[in-house]
Amino acid sequence: MRLNRLTIYGFGKFHDRTFQLTAGLNVLLGPNEAGKSTLTQFISAIFFGFPTKKHPELRYEPLDGSRFGGEIAFTLAGTDYLLSRVDGPRGGKVTLRNTTLDLTLPAATLPRLMAPVDAQLFKNVYAMNEPQLGTVFAASKQELVDRLRHVGAVGSDFWLHQARQLDRAADEVYKPQGRKPALNQLLQEHAELTAKLEKANAGYASYWDLLQRQQQRRQQQTDLQRQLAVQRQIAGQYDRQLALWPVYQQWRKLAATPESTHRGFQQRDATALERLTNQAKATRASQQADQDQLAGLQEQQQLDPLFQDYLLVSAQVDPLIVQLPDITIAERERQRLQTDQADLQRRASEIEQQYATHGQMPRAFSLVTTQQVRQLTSNLSLATQKRRRLQQQLNQLNERYRQQQPTRQQRKNPLADKQIGWLAAGLIVLVGSMFLPATLFKLAGALLGVAVGYYGVFIVDSSTPASRQQQSLEDDIRDVQAQLRETSQVIEQVTRQLDDIGDAHGLGDISVDQWAAAQTAIVTWDRLTQRLEAGTAQLATATQTVTDFKAAIQRVLPRMTVTNMGDLTTQLKDLQVTQQRLQSQESDVAAIAARLKRDQLAVDRAQQAVTTFLQTRNVRSTDAFYRQYQQVREQGNRLSQRDALAQQMGDQQLAALQRVTDRATLVQQATTATSQVTKFQRQLDTVTEALATGAGQLVHLTASGTQATLRQQLANLETRMQALTQDWLVDRLVSQWIAATLAAASGDRLPQIVKTASQFYDKLTENRYTEIELTPTTLRVRRTDGAWRLVSQLSRGTAEQLDLAVKLAFAVVMAERVAMPVVIDDGFVNFDDQRRRAAYRLLATISADVQVILLTADPVVTDELTTENLIRLTD
Amino acid sequence: MKFIHAADLHLDSPFLGLQHLPSALLTQVRESTFHAATAVFDRAIAEQVDFVLLAGDLFDRAEQSVAAQAYLFQQFDRLNAAKIPVLISFGNHDYLADQHQTVAYPANVTVFGADVSTQTLTLASGETVAISGFSYPQRWVTSDQTPAFPDHAATDWHIGMLHGAVATGSDDHYAPFTVAELLAKRYDYWALGHIHQRQLLVEQPPMLYAGNTQGRAITEAGDRGAYLVTSVAGKLVPQFFSAAAILWAAPQLDLADVTTLTALSQQLVTWLAANPADRPTLTAMTVHLPQTLAHEDADQLASGDWLTLWQRTQQRAMRQANRYVIAVTVTVHGASVSAPQLDQQYWEQGAATTFTPANLQALFGKLAQSPALADWFTRAQTPSDLEAAAQQKLAQLMGEEDDHAS
């Protein structure tokens, strides 16, 4: 943009004044108060509007009352415009004309036309004066960048404004270092809440601790309760034992009582005895009564004494009477036996008289002997018969022989006679020799006798003369005789045998013929004697029976005459008859008698029972029993008392007490146990209390809800924080987005500006400072020697030169987009002469690219600058 | 057989995304996770189920909630009294490691260990059930645990418990698995946990996420609860039942004739009256308007002052509708970013340099020191949210520029 002409209607000290400007460097020279600042302000006011009336010092209203305002003719992008502004609302009334096309444009076109330059940018960059240059002290990259963007794109001022708004809004939400912004506060709140929650979370550990402790304590409680119960029981035990101690002592005393060894002296025994004696007494009494009654009756009846006796013992007598028939039979039997015995005795005596020659009965044959005898007897008879036959034969033969030789018979006879004689002689000699003195004679005599006998029988006989006939006869006779002899010998032998037998059996005196009869008699005798013996035994039995009976009768009825059985029987029968008579005639007496009988029986039984009772208990009398019983009962009492005590104490207690040595120990134990109970109870109380406390704490922890509330609060807070953060981020992002977009639209000219500024600064400081560096927060410069200097370290003048360099560089670099003239109003007052000249030279240089309007009071400028357009304001 | 499959109780965890709540509602919110869990346990006792499966995230261990622990003890005791076994496989929030867990749960509770193990139950009916599962030993389980699960046991039923997510192939922190792997085990039921939105991965045999019992953010809108599973003809049939004490809703309203906040307020009240909820419902409204609100109205809305005022004045209407309006977001149809005085390309260039992760990070700066903010900032959608918000803001400014220019 190039300003061609300034026409002032009325502004500050100027009115109706026109300044023609050229494209390059325009120098407006004038002393103080010549209106240099007014002109600068005029350019700003026409382009960007009059300041509000709140700041009248900035309005430069004309002092002389002429029309406020003016016009500027300028060329922009090859088109000429005429802009006029006069006093009016909102910065003044604007009239804009496109003079090239002769078009009047709406006032709103102006900012767009001017864009991106606005009052701010103009003031900050293009309108330079001493105070403005001072702003370098606040300059930073951001400011520069903002200015860059400001001029970088169309409409960027709006966006920059928005971006700033967003940033401001964002700063209100959050500043990384801040405290006040909402998000910072929330963060703070979050930290506090988190701390609170953490504190509350500590409850979690406590909860588990409590829970665990609760579990342990419950276990402990159960244990203690069990222990306590046990201990209580023990203590109670001891207490009971203590309470029972006197009882125990008593029990111990009683314990000395020996156990009763006698049996059968119990209460029931005594009762039994009582019953028995009572029974006996009662029966005796009733018997007595009956007897009295009977006596009375008897007195009435005039009974004989025997019967009276009988009545008393009828029980014993009656069985005897019942036995009477048997006894009678026995008596008869006895008598019969006696008779039999006498008979048998007689017969035996007869036989004895007959056979017992020597006072001794021959013995009976045995069977063998009988057979032998029979054999021998038959042999004998045979032999005898034979001999008789032989004798007859012989006799015949002898007859015949005598017929033939009768002498012979004669001769023979003497022989035969002689034989006996010999024998007799021998016998006589034998017997006679016995009377001889001296044994030798006797023996010789006996031998002689035998020899004589032998001679007579055998030798004499053998010398018998015989003829032939005679001889045969004689032989026959001899033969027969021999046979006869033989037979006789047999007979003799047999006879001898028989004799032997007879001798052996005492039958010597009896002929063999009678033996059979004798044998029969002997057998009969034997039988008789046997029967006699048997009879004697029977008789003895019977007699005994009878005698016994008599004795029995005698015993029970002493009055009874018992000598004669018949009398006895009669008497007994009489008794029976009497009794029967009494029974039939007088039932009373009978009844009484019967009763008496029963009474007697009962008395006997009772007495017997008592006796048995006493005997089984090995005592003599009831008194003895009672003594014993009393003793036993006392023992029993003591025992039962002891038992009662034992029961009172109980088995266990008793056993426990028995283990106790003495009371002191027991007391000691009881005390210990009680104190133990107290201890356990205390522990239990402690645990229970702790449990209750723990439960309370648990309930508190569980129910407080602090954690949950805090957590929810935190969650809500975080939601808010997130929302705020999002807001903040969005604001910042949009701001960044705008900036980025503007940067993109404006292109990145910053490095170029910095580079150019460095060159300008180099020139301005006459090569003292060679480089400018823009840091995010500030500017710094490098000296020729390489040392860096911050703006704050620079002298005021050097700092202002830096600002000038940057601003000029900006103007130059941005000229292709914004050809805004640079208006410098006495900007170099703090420059030394050298540098001021350098500045002028620089301005001259840049005026090739940028229109420069230099307002100055310094006349040196004319030496330094060869300008086409020098306007002296004083003109 | 009958059992309950629940997961992600998140006891005593705070509701997210709320800024201000009346204290009465705050109490309800605080108790809601407990009420929801109690509803599940109540159902278990009422139905006399054979057992209860809790597939992880019963509570958030990091929160160290006393109330949650005390509550679990109390409820497990309750189930113990009812002779109902409870099987727990801890997840990424209630992972096993806890130095404080010195007191064991009641006897009816079985907590799976860090390695896959199998529990066999014999039910009152005489049926046998094998249940396999594991607990997270720490916050992450990056490897697929499926191979460790045994094949179908010689029991009448076999159920797998798994707290995890379907494998995505990269960055899987939560016991990644594939449906095919699980199916290959030939179990009768897969009780899954971790995903808060209930979903059926496989119809039969059922493989499903029970979802959480109580929604805790606007992203968890809709009814929440657990599953009652019963055996029907040799198959297990899951049936959802509601447990949530408080619901979340995000209705969208198209209000063509609203141009001012006053009108909007009236429309919202009308809508509330027409749409009462059966349970306390935290409602975040999104309102579509035909054109942007006036500058002041927009500012009021953006600052939240208007909503706060509205909440205060419309308490009755909200109470009657059983809804609490927690947010009102206004969107405008067809709003576009275009600046007449600056080329679109400059804006795009600007956006390209501004919305870079590095710049965002740099701008975020010290705020990253706040874990809550850092958490929010590192969320995947945050940059795009920011950009969208920025664009909206810019659009608003452009509107102003238009006004300014014309």
**Per-residue DSSP letters for B70-122?**
HHHHHHHHHHHHTT--EEE---SSS-S--TT--SPPPTTEEE--SS-EEEEEE
CB < 8 Å from B in window 684-713 of A: 698, 701-702, 705, 707-709, 711-712
Q: What is the pLDDT of residue A13?
A: 83
CB distance B249 to B43 below 8 Å:
no
CB–CB contact B66 A702 (8 Å):
yes
Share of chain B above pLDDT 90, in %: 30
| Residue A694 covered by a domain | no
Residue count of chain A, please give it: 875
pLDDT score, position A137:
47
Q: Do A707 and B66 touch (CB under 8 A)?
A: yes
> What is this structure's pTM?
0.54
Q: How confident is the model at residue B301 (pLDDT cuts 50, 70, 90)?
A: confident
Q: Does B353 touch chain A (CB under 8 A)?
A: yes
| Count of structural domains within chain A | 2
Work out whether the CA dihedral B5, B8, B14, B20 comes out positive or negative. negative
Instruction: Give burial (CB, 10 Å; 0-12/13-18/19+) of B311.
Output: middle
d(CA A248, CA A654): 7
Query: What per-residue confidence (pLDDT) applies to B405?
Result: 46
- Among residues B350, B361, B342, which one has the least CA distance to residue B390? B350
Those residues whose C-beta lies under 8 Å from the C-beta of residue B51, and which sit 6 or more positions away, are: B3, B4, B84, B85, B86, B87, B121, B129, B131
In terms of DSSP bridges, do strands B199-202 and B235-242 run parallel, antiparallel, or are they unpaired? unpaired
Answer whether the bond into residue A62 is a cis peptide, omega within 30°. no
- Measure CB to CB from residue B376 to each of A705, A722, A737 and give the nearest one: A722
A363 occurs within a structural domain: yes
Q: Which residue has the higher pLDDT, B49 or A28?
A: B49
pLDDT for A210 equals 84
**CA nearest B31 in A: which residue?**
A708
Residue B172 CB contacts under 8 Å (≥ 6 apart), including other chains: B142, B165
Of A519, A547, A566, which one is at a domain's C-terminal end? A519
Q: Which residue in the set B18, B347, B387 is minimally distant from A741, CB to CB?
A: B347
Q: Are B95 and B137 in contact (CB under 8 A)?
A: yes
Q: For chains A and B, what is the number of CB pairs under 8 angstroms? A: 180
DSSP B127-169: -EEEEEE---SSS-B-S--GGGSPPPPSSSEEEEEEE--B--S
A855 part of a folded domain = yes
The tokens describing A273, both together, are 């005895």
A537 is a domain residue: no
Q: Which strand ranges, in their side-by-side order, compose the sheet holding A103-105?
A: A14-20, A2-11, A69-76, A79-86, A93-98, A103-105
pLDDT at site A409: 46
* B324-381 confidence digits (pLDDT tens): 998 888 887 655 555 555 667 778 888 888 888 888 888 888 888 888 888 888 888 8
Nearest CB to A719 within list B13, B19, B346? B19
Q: What is the pLDDT of residue B17?
A: 81
Nearest Cα residue in chain B from A190: B370
Contact criterion met (CB < 8 Å) for A744 and B364: no
Q: Does A197 touch chain B (CB under 8 A)?
A: no
Nearest CB partner across the interface for B16, out of A183, A702, A719: A719
Q: Is residue A458 part of a domain?
A: yes
**Domain assignment present for A381:** yes
Give, as one character, the DSSP assignment of residue A513: G
Give CA–CA dist A64/A66, Å, rounded. Answer: 6
Q: Which residues contact A20 (CB under 8 A, 6 or more apart)?
A: A4, A5, A869
Q: Which domains does chain B have, with CATH numbers?
A: 2-242 (3.60.21.10), 247-405 (no CATH)
pLDDT score for A153:
53
Instruction: Report the residue from A201, A705, A719 with minimal CB separation from B30.
Output: A705
A356 touches chain B (CB under 8 A): no
- From A327, A628, A682, A373, select the one nearest A512 (Cα to Cα): A373
By the 10 Å C-beta count (0-12 exposed, 13-18 middle, 19+ buried), B208 is classed as buried
Task: Answer with the one of A519, A536, A555 that is the final residue of a domain.
Answer: A519
Residue B338 touches partner A, C-beta closer than 8 Å: no
SS3 label, residue B237: strand
With an 8 Å Cβ cutoff, is A389 touching chain B?
A: no
- In sequence order, the 6+-apart residues with CB closer than 8 A to the CB of B303 are none
Interface of B with A in 285-304 (CB under 8 A): 302, 304
In this complex, the residue of B346, B372, B386 whose CB is nearest that of residue A721 is: B372
**Residues of B in Cβ contact (< 8 Å) with A746:** none
Residues of B in contact with A743 (CB under 8 A): 350
Q: What is the DSSP string of A548-563?
A: HHHHHHHHH-TTS--S
Residues B40, B42, B44, B46, CA torsion sign: negative
Cis amide prior to B205 (ω within 30 degrees): yes
Return the structure tokens found at A749: 């000219």
> Residue A439 domain-assigned?
yes
Best A192, A729, A742, A748 residue to mutate vs chain B (most B CBs within 10 Å)? A729
Contacts of A137 (CB under 8 A, 6+ apart): A791, A792, A799
Whole-angstrom Cα distance, residue A647 to residue A650? 5
Is A211 within 8 Å of chain B by CB?
yes
- pLDDT over 90 at B189, yes or no: yes
Which residues in A795-810 are b (16+ Cβ under 10 Å) and which e?
A: eebbbbbbbbbbbbbb
* Residues 6+ away with beta carbon under 8 Å from B175: B136, B141, B143, B144, B145, B162, B163, B164, B165
**Locus of tokens 């063999």:** A512
Residue in B closest to A178 by C-alpha: B366
> Would you call A719 and B364 a contact, using CB atoms and an 8 Å cutoff?
no
Q: State how far the Cα of A864 lies from the Cα of A836, in Å rounded to an integer.
A: 10
∠ CA A628-A634-A636, rounded to 5°: 100
Task: Using the 3D structure, point to which of A472, A492, A519 is the last residue of a domain.
Answer: A519
Q: Which residue has the tokens 């400014």?
A: B397
Among the listed residues A484, A476, A283, the one whose alpha carbon sits nearest the alpha carbon of residue A389: A484
φ/ψ (deg, to 5) at A72? -130, 130
- B40 near B213, Cβ under 8 Å? yes
B189 token code pair: 């039921």
Q: Does B105 touch chain A (CB under 8 A)?
A: no
- Residue carrying structure tokens 């909630």: B65
Question: CA-to-CA distance for A585 and B194, rounded, in angstroms?
Answer: 131
Closest CA to B11 of B353, B274, B243, B347: B243
Structure-token pair, residue A394: 């012989």
The answer to whether A344 and A528 are in contact (CB under 8 A) is yes
Q: How far apart (Å, rounded) are the C-alpha atoms in residues B244 and B39? A: 8
Facing residues of B235 across strands?
Answer: B232
- Find the CB nearest A733 among B70, B73, B363: B363
Distances from the Cα of B118 to the Cα of A229, B31, B83, B133, angstroms: 44, 34, 20, 7
Please state, in angstroms and rounded to a whole number, the distance separating the CA atoms of residues A47 and A50: 9
Amino acid identity at A84: S
Contact in structure between A107 and A84 (CB atoms under 8 Å): no
CA–CA dist A433, B145 (Å, integer): 163
3-state helix, strand, coil split of chain A in percent (to 5) is 70, 10, 20
Specify if A469 maps to a domain: yes
Structure tokens at B16: 């997210």
Q: What is the mean pLDDT of each run of 10 residues along chain A (875 residues)?
A: 88 86 85 82 86 80 81 87 86 86 84 74 76 58 61 63 83 81 84 85 81 86 88 84 83 72 74 82 81 73 69 74 79 82 82 72 75 80 78 78 58 58 79 79 82 72 56 74 77 79 73 75 80 81 81 76 74 75 65 77 82 82 82 80 81 80 84 87 88 84 77 84 85 85 71 83 86 71 84 78 82 76 82 85 85 84 74 74
> Which of the two residues, A130 and B128, has the higher pLDDT score?
B128
DSSP state of B257: T
Show the domain range for A772. 2-152+749-872
Give the contacts of B217 (CB within 8 A, at least 6 positions apart): B15, B16, B17, B248
The pairing of beta strand B207-209 with beta strand B189-193: parallel
Given this model, what pLDDT does residue B359 score?
Answer: 86
B21 inside 8 A of chain A by CB = yes
Structure tokens given for B365? 């700066």
Q: Which of A824, A307, A288 is nearest to A573 (CA)?
A: A307
Q: Which residues of A316-334 are buried (b: 16+ CB within 10 A; e: fewer)?
A: ebeebbebbeebbebbebb
CATH, residue A791: 3.40.50.300
Residue in A725, A740, A741 closest to B367 by CB: A725
Q: Do A204 and B373 touch (CB under 8 A)?
A: no
Whether chain A has a CB inside 8 Å of the CB on B62: the answer is no
